[in-house]
Amino acid sequence: MLTVWVPEVPSHGDANRAVLREVAHWLRVPRSSVALLGGAASRIKTVLVADLAHLPAPDSDRLRDKPKAQLPHVRPTGGDQDSRT
């Protein structure tokens, strides 16, 4: 689970596009690899990211430490906290 902050207001999809852009940048994947699956009108979003095979394990230093310094708007918030699955 990630927490993402964006300055864009939720108007005409601007905030949703900003969230997808930040997630793609944080994961170092093309923006076209990130899609919004659910939560378009909600503060909680469900995002699909394609082509994750090249990424390190979620507990690696790259995903835990470096993005916090590089992108202050994105930070991991723990392991799999989605109890709906």
Task: Write down the pTM of the prediction.
Answer: 0.65
DSSP single-letter state for residue 50: -
DSSP state of 33: G
pLDDT tens column, 13-63: 999 999 999 999 888 888 999 999 999 999 899 999 987 776 666 665 655
State the number of CA atoms in the 13 A half-sphere of 32 facing the CB: 0
Looking at residue 45, its pLDDT comes to 92
DSSP bridge pairs for 35: 48
- In whole angstroms, give the CA distance from residue 53 to residue 18: 24
Band of the pLDDT at 76, cuts 50, 70, 90?
low
